[in-house]
Amino acid sequence: MRKRILHNNSSFVLVASDFTEHSKTDRYLDVFLSMFGNSGIVFNEVHIIDDRITRGKALQYIEKADIAWIAGGDTLKQIAYLKEYNLIPALQSREGITIGMSAGSINMAKRVVLAKDIDDNVIELSIYDGIGLVDINIEPHLDSASEDYMRDIYEASQYSAIYGIYDNTFIKITNIYGTYFKYKNISE
C-alpha cells in the first residue's frame, strides 16, 4: 500500500520539534529514512527544518515536499517554533502526505487539548490553536502512561474528545482509523 501512495524520487522534509537540538534531529532523520528505505522507498531530496535554515527556505521545503514529517519531542516548544517561523499556513495549504509523530500528531489538531504532563514539560492543562490539519486530538504513548497521567488525560477530555494510541500505532485520516481509544468527558 505504501508504494501506491509514495513513489521513489519524492521529496521529504522533517520538521523538528526543537529547532536547536541538531544532533537529535539528525539521528531521527537517519532512522526515518532507513525505515522508508527498508520498504523500498528512496527520496530524491531530503531536508530538515530547524534553526540551521532560514524561514524562507523552511517555507519552500514544506511547499515542495511530497512528504512532511512533523517530529515528536517537546509539544509546546514545537508549536512555538512553528508559529515563530510562520510555518502553519504552509502546512495547512500544502499538497502531499503529512505525518505527525508524537508531539507532531498532537499539534496537527485544529484546537489542541494537551493534558498536563510534568515529564514532558507540560506543567498544566494547555489548550491552544494547533496546525489545523485534523479535527481530533491525539494522545500518544498510552503504553507508558502512569495512572496519574491517565487521570490528567481524562480531565483534559472535558474540553475535547481525545484519541489515545499506543506506540507503533497510528491513525490514518482518510476515513479509516487504526486502533485507538477515545476518551470523552464533556459535560453537555
Q: What is the pLDDT of residues 30-48, one digit of tens each?
A: 999 999 999 888 999 999 9
Architecture, CATH, for domain 2-176: 3-Layer(aba) Sandwich (3.40)
Please tell me whether residue 71 adopts helix, strand or coil conformation.
Answer: coil
Mean pLDDT of 85-111: 94
* Per-residue confidence (pLDDT) for residue 179, from 0 to 100: 54
Q: What percent of the chain has pLDDT over 90?
A: 67
| Strand boundaries in 36-115, DSSP class E | 43-49, 67-70, 97-100, 111-114
Please give the helix or strand (H or E) that residue 95 lies within, else none. Answer: none
Q: Which residue has the cell 504552509?
A: 90
Q: What is the pLDDT of residues 61-79, one digit of tens each?
A: 999 999 999 999 999 999 9
